[in-house]
Amino acid sequence: MSQNVGVTDKRVRTAVGAVAGTASLATLAGTGPLPALAAPVLGVVALAMLATAATGTCGLYALIGVDTCSVDAGGSR
pLDDT at 72 over 50: no
Per-residue pLDDT band for 34 (boundaries 50, 70, 90) equals very high
Quick one: pLDDT at residue 2? 87
Q: Is residue 39 part of a domain?
A: yes
What share of the chain has pLDDT > 70, as a percent?
Answer: 91
Number of domains in the chain: 1
Q: How confident is the model at residue 29 (pLDDT cuts 50, 70, 90)?
A: very high
Asked whether residue 77 is assigned to any structural domain, the reply reads no
In a domain, 73, yes or no: no
CA geometry: angle 48, 49, 50, nearest 5 deg: 95
The residue segments making up the domain with residue 30 are 7-64
